[in-house]
Chains A and B, each alone.
Chain A
Amino acid sequence: MRVIHHPILNENRQNKKITFYLDGEAIEAMEGDTIASALLANGRKVCRYTRKNNEPRGIFCSIGRCNDCLVTVNGIPNVCSCVTPVKDGMNIKIQKGNGEWEALT
C-alpha cells in the first residue's frame, strides 16, 4: 500500500508510471521507487532464497547495509534492492542462492 496523504509530508503526487519485469512478469512501479519499495508496493515481500536452505529473505535494514534483500538485476546478481532505483524496462529476478552472472555469458 502506498502512502498518498500525509499530515506532515507533501501529498505523494503520482510520479510517472514505469514498468519493470519480475521473472518475466510485467509489473508497474513509479519513478523514484527503489526495487525493494516497488516490489513491496506490489505485495511482493520475498527478494531472494538462500543458497543452503532455500529460505526466503526480504527487506531488513532498507538502507543498504544488511544485504538481505539481494536480487539479480539485468543479469547482475547480488544487487541491494533497497537502495537501487528501479528503472523502466529493468529485468529483475528473485535471486536463487548466489545468483548467476548472465551479463557475462
Chain B
Amino acid sequence: MRKVNLVVVGAGPAGLSASIEAAKHGVKALVLDENHKPGGQLFKQIHKFFGSEQQMAGTRGYEIGTKLLNLAKEYGVEIKLNNRVIGIDDHNTLAIIDNHKYSEIRAKKIILCCGATEKPLAFPGWTLPGVMGAGAAQTLVNIHRVVPGEKIIMVGSGNVGLIVTYHLLQAGVKVKAIIDASHKITGYGVHAAKIKRAGIPIILRYTVNRAMGTNQVEKVELIQVDKSFNKIPCTQISFDVDTICLAVGLSPSTELARMIGCKLYYHPKLGGYIPMVNQYMQTTIEDIYAAGDMTGIEEASIAMEEGRLAGLACAISLGYISDNAQSQKALENIRSNLSQLRMGNGKGGIING
C-alpha cells in the first residue's frame, strides 16, 4: 500500500490551496479528486470575485483556478483525478476508486475539502427533466457551452440565483423572472441591480406551487406566500417555461467526515450539519482536518484561506516547520485574512444560495 504524509480530498479552491501551502513547506501533498478535471467549481465562475486584492478579488473565478493549478504544479503537488474516496478507516487508510479500480493509500494527515452540493426544493413535478440546480445551469453554459433551455425561471434571489441569471444572459438566454419566497432580495445589491438593469423582473413573496409537463417541464405555477411562508389560496400565476433553476442554497458534503466519526454540529446559517473544527481546521479526530464549503457554506475566497490554514497546520504538525513564534504568526496572518473576508457579512453571511 502506498504511504504518504498528506492526502487532500478534493481539488477545488480549498483543497488546492491546502496542498500548495503544505508543499511550500516541503510536505509532498497528494490531492485526490473524483472528477476528470481539477478546480472544483472555480472554472464555471466567470465573474470577478469580491474581497481584498490579497485574496485575488477582482479576478475571475476561472483565472483563480488556473493560478492555483499553476502554483500546484510549481510546488510539485501531485493531483490524481478520477479518484473517488469512498471511505477512510481508523488508521487513516483511504479506500479509493481509482479510475474504476479499487485501491488504498495510507496518510499521516488527511485534509477533507469535499465542498458542497446544491439543495433541492420539493414541489409536485420537481423531478421532471428541466428542473435543475442553478449551479447545474451554470456548469452547462460556462463549461459545456450548451444552454439548459430557452424559457427559464430562477428560484431564489440569493447571490447564486442572481449571478447565474447574469451568466445565462451572457450566454444569450434572458431568464423570464427570478422568484423568491422572501419579502426582500437576499443577494448583494450590486448583483440585483445588474439584473434589474437587464429588465429581468424579481418577483418576491412567491414560491413554486408545481411544475407541469409530460416528459419535461412545460409550465410552472407559482403561488404567493405570507410572512410565515404559508401559501395564500387563489394567488396562483403560471408561466410557460422549459427550465426551472433552483438557487435555494447549498449543503456541505460531509459524508466522509460523518463516516470516520468526526463530530458534527448543526449550524443553519452555514448550511446544516458541519464538522467541528478548531483554530487549525482540525476536526475532532486528530489526523483529520477539514476546510472549505464542507465546514460551512461561504465564499471561494474564504475556502482558499481555510485551506491554507489547514495546509500550514499540517506542515507544522508533521514537523516540517517548527512550532515556534514565527509559524504561529503565519497561522495568525491567515486567520486575520479570514476575519477580514468575513467582516460585514458575519460568519456565513452569504448563505441563501
Select which of B128, B145, B150 is within 8 A of A2 by beta carbon: B145
Q: Would B170 and A7 count as touching, CB distance under 8 A? A: yes
Q: Which residues of the partner chain B approach A92 to less than 8 Å between Cβ atoms?
A: none
| Contact bitstring A59-81, B, C-beta under 8 A = 1, else 0 | 11111111010000000000000
Q: What are 18 residue pairs bridging A and B, where the CB atoms are less than 8 Å apart in the complex?
A: A1-B146, A2-B146, A3-B171, A6-B145, A6-B171, A9-B145, A37-B146, A58-B128, A58-B216, A59-B129, A59-B148, A62-B133, A62-B136, A62-B139, A63-B139, A64-B35, A68-B127, A82-B136
Q: A40-B140, A40-B148 are in contact. Are A61 and B135 (CB under 8 A)?
A: yes
CA distance A8 to B62 in the complex (A): 11
Contact at B130–A45, with CB atoms within 8 Å? Answer: yes
Known contacts A9-B142, A55-B127, A56-B215: A3-B147 contact under CB 8 Å: yes
- The number of residues on chain B lying at the interface, defined by a beta carbon within 8 Å of a beta carbon of chain A, is 35
Query: Does chain A have a CB within 8 A of B331?
Result: no
Q: Which residues from chain A sit less than 8 Å from chain B, CB to CB?
A: 1-9, 12, 33-34, 36-37, 40-41, 45-47, 55-66, 68, 82-83, 85
B150 touches A1 (CB 8 A): yes
Tell me, in angstroms, the Cα distance from A12 to B216 when the chains sit together: 28
- With A7-B170, A8-B170, A45-B216 as given contacts, are A60 and B146 in contact (CB-CB < 8 Å)? no
Given known A-B contacts A8-B46, A58-B132, A65 and B145 have beta carbons under 8 A apart: no
Query: In this assembly, does B34 line the interface, its C-beta being within 8 Å of a C-beta of chain A?
Result: yes
CB neighbors of A among B91-149 (8 A): 117-118, 120, 127-133, 135-137, 139-142, 144-148
Q: Distance in Å from the Cβ of A67 to the closest Cβ of chain B?
A: 12
Closest chain A residue to B130, Cβ basis: A45
- Would you list which residues of chain B between 167 and 211 have a CB under 8 Å from chain A? 170-172
Is the CB–CB distance between A57 and B127 below 8 Å?
yes
A62 engages B146 (CB within 8 Å): no
Quick check: B129 and A63 within 8 Å, CB to CB? Answer: no
Closest to B173 in A: A1
Is chain A's binding surface mostly helix, strand, loop or mixed? loop
Given contacts A3-B172, A6-B170, contact A64 B34 (CB under 8 A): yes
A residues near B215, Cβ cutoff 8 Å: 45-46, 56
Nearest-neighbour CB distance to chain B for A89, whole angstroms, equals 19
Residues of B with C-beta under 8 A to A40: 140, 146, 148
Complex Cα distance, B38 from A89, in Å, reads 27
A46 and B133 form a contact (CB under 8 A): no
Nearest chain-A residue to B34 (Cβ)? A64
Q: Give chain A residues whose Cβ lies under 8 Å from the Cβ of B128.
A: 56, 58
In the complex, residue of chain B having the shortest beta-carbon distance to the beta carbon of A58: B129
Given A8-B46, A9-B142, 7 further pairs, Cβ under 8 A: A1-B146, A12-B145, A45-B129, A46-B129, A59-B132, A62-B137, A65-B253
Query: 1/0 per position for B1-37, CB-CB distance to A under 8 A?
Result: 0000000000000000000000000000000001110
Q: A74–B34 Cα gap in the complex (Å)? A: 21
B219 interface residue per 8 A CB criterion = no
A9–B150 touching, CB < 8 Å: no
Q: Are A65 and B36 in contact (CB under 8 A)?
A: no
Q: Are B130 and A61 in contact (CB under 8 A)?
A: no
On chain A, the residues within 8 Å of B342 by CB distance are: none
Q: Which residues of A contact B137 (CB under 8 A)?
A: 62
Which chain B residues lie closer than 8 Å to A36 at the CB level?
144
